[in-house]
Amino acid sequence: MLKNMRLPETHPSFRLNKLHYTNEELASVAYSLIKEGEPYEGQAGSFLLDWLNEKDYVEVKTSGSTGTPKKIRIKKQFMINSAKATGRFFDLPAGTTALHCLPTNFIAGKMMLVRAMVLGWHLDLVLPKANPLDRVFKIYDFCAMTPFQLDNSLSRLHLIRKLIVGGGAVSATQKDLVQGIATEVYETYGMTETVTHIAARRVNPKRKKEDPIPFQVLPNVSISTDDRECLVISAPQLAEEPVVTNDVVEILSPKTFIWKGRIDNVINSGGIKLHPEEIEAKLAPIIAHRFFITSLPDPALGEKLVLMVESDFSETALKNLEKEIKASNKLGKYELPKKIYLVEKFEETPNGKIHRTNTLKSRMA
């Protein structure tokens, strides 16, 4: 039996691929998805069986962006609470039409199903791929994507009324490209340990706002910082203990904060602390390829700032990029890379994020 909770019946308005299912019926559907469906449907089926079993928790894999991916247990009640908070924050009531285009073996994909079952959404499950809207011919109220999917869906965003983007930062170029469109595009902040997002910010507000736009936290979430100036999240409805992050933030109010970067990425170059993410945001309009800022040991500075760009090597391209960066006048004196490396292919985490440490190691090997 489930401990300290009773798994609620699916919402009367819940639809999966146009059909309503009770919990009992959903178990049969899950088996069919696993046995007869495509691999992505099988992932959804496996999660649904986990959701419907007698345990009061679900085992979830972390993304691996900060270390080796691992399995953690998340209480089903916390997942229900998260779904309700999302519904309130983004105003997504029963009957909301939603497109599910994320892999269900990670928390973001699992939560799309939970939100639909709990809130009564009409959810359509499609193949999680780079351009999930390419074969979509109807308008949806809500969708969640990764930044990579957003990048490949810009021409068809009119099919989504509200879009949340998570699993990585929305680039400056992407923010520019979604200005003035009808779709409400939100960048989210969260992690597996907080059952996806605990904060969000609209990156294309109707009225132009100062950059950076602060994140606003969801209901029943409190924020503070520790002695490293890193975010501490207190959300008793989502996690039993406060979640101490490695994200350096500036808290503006009890409900808003500005994300500055990860403390484990901070570069101390000659006594100057540099946040790679802030420099990357300035470089994004200049560099067309994937890239990141990191550091290498330096006898004089301690650490020297270097720029890694995913591109085939070309002496001409390298010189042109150096000139463009200097001519842009976007970077401060200490933010200019001491060296630029062109790397044919970046190392990645299991869910497609750039693995900075491994990429640097392989390039320097």
Check pLDDT > 80 for residue 344. Answer: yes
CATH number of 81's domain: 3.40.50.12780
Q: Which percentage of the chain shows pLDDT scores above 70?
A: 96
Structural domain of 292: 266-364
Check pLDDT > 90 for residue 231. Answer: yes
Query: What would the pLDDT profile of 267-319 be if each residue is shown by its tens digit?
Result: 999 888 898 988 998 898 889 899 999 999 988 889 999 999 999 988 999 99
Give the chain's domain count: 2
Check pLDDT > 50 for residue 1. Answer: no
Residues 285 and 191 placed together within one structural domain of the fold: no
What does the alpha-carbon distance between residue 25 and residue 163 come to, in Å, rounded to a whole number? 30
Residues sharing a CB contact under 8 Å with residue 94, sequence separation 6 or more, in sequence order: 11, 12, 13, 119, 120, 121
Residues 43 and 178 placed together within one structural domain of the fold: yes
Residue 353 has a pLDDT of 79
Last residue of a domain, one of 162, 197, 218: 218
Residue 20 has a pLDDT of 98
Residue 181 has a pLDDT of 96
**Does 236 map to a domain?**
no
Residues 166 and 277 placed together within one structural domain of the fold: no
Residues 180 and 291 placed together within one structural domain of the fold: no
What does the alpha-carbon distance between residue 287 and residue 307 come to, in Å, rounded to a whole number? 11
Residue 361: pLDDT band (50, 70, 90) is confident
CATH number of 286's domain: 3.30.300.30
**Does 19 map to a domain?**
yes
pTM score of the predicted model: 0.83
**Does 179 map to a domain?**
yes
What integer is the mean pLDDT of 67-87? 90
Residues 148 and 74 placed together within one structural domain of the fold: yes
**Does 252 map to a domain?**
no
What does the alpha-carbon distance between residue 255 and residue 247 come to, in Å, rounded to a whole number? 16
Check pLDDT > 80 for residue 350. Answer: no
Residue 63 has a pLDDT of 65
Query: What would the pLDDT profile of 99-149 be if each residue is shown by its tens digit?
Result: 999 999 999 999 999 999 999 999 999 999 999 999 999 999 999 999 989
Check pLDDT > 90 for residue 329. Answer: no
Residues 178 and 74 placed together within one structural domain of the fold: yes
Query: What would the pLDDT profile of 135-188 be if each residue is shown by its tens digit?
Result: 999 999 999 999 989 999 999 999 999 999 998 888 888 899 999 999 999 999
Residue 64: pLDDT band (50, 70, 90) is low
Residue 66 has a pLDDT of 44
The region of weakest confidence among 222-226, 335-339, 354-358 is 354-358
280 or 212: which carries more pLDDT confidence?
Answer: 280
Q: How far is CA 288 from the centre of its chain?
A: 21
The helix/strand/coil state of 95 is coil
The region of weakest confidence among 29-33, 153-157, 349-353 is 349-353
Residues sharing a CB contact under 8 Å with residue 359, sequence separation 6 or more, in sequence order: 292, 308, 343, 346, 347
**Does 6 map to a domain?**
no
Residues 67 and 176 placed together within one structural domain of the fold: yes
Residues 214 and 294 placed together within one structural domain of the fold: no
Check pLDDT > 80 for residue 215. Answer: yes
Residue 5 has a pLDDT of 66
Instruction: Yes or no: say if 215 and 189 are a contact pair by the CB < 8 Å rule.
Output: yes
**Does 150 map to a domain?**
yes
Residues 213 and 274 placed together within one structural domain of the fold: no
Query: What would the pLDDT profile of 53-62 be if each residue is shown by its tens digit?
Result: 999 999 998 7
**Torsion-angle region of 67 (φ positive above 0: left; ψ -120 to 50: alpha; else: beta):** left
HSE of 236, CA atoms in CB hemisphere, 13 A: 0
> Radius of gyration over alpha carbons of the chain, in Å?
22
**Does 232 map to a domain?**
no
Residues 122 and 63 placed together within one structural domain of the fold: yes
Residue 3 has a pLDDT of 57
Q: According to DSSP H, which parts of 134-214 are helical?
A: 147-151, 172-177
Residue 288 has a pLDDT of 87
Residues 137 and 19 placed together within one structural domain of the fold: yes
Residue 68 has a pLDDT of 59
Q: What share of the chain is helix, strand, coil (3-state, %, to 5)?
A: 30, 30, 40
**Does 250 map to a domain?**
no
Instruction: Give me the chain's average pLDDT, please.
Output: 92
Residues 37 and 162 placed together within one structural domain of the fold: yes
339 or 364: which carries more pLDDT confidence?
Answer: 339
Last residue of a domain, one of 188, 218, 248: 218
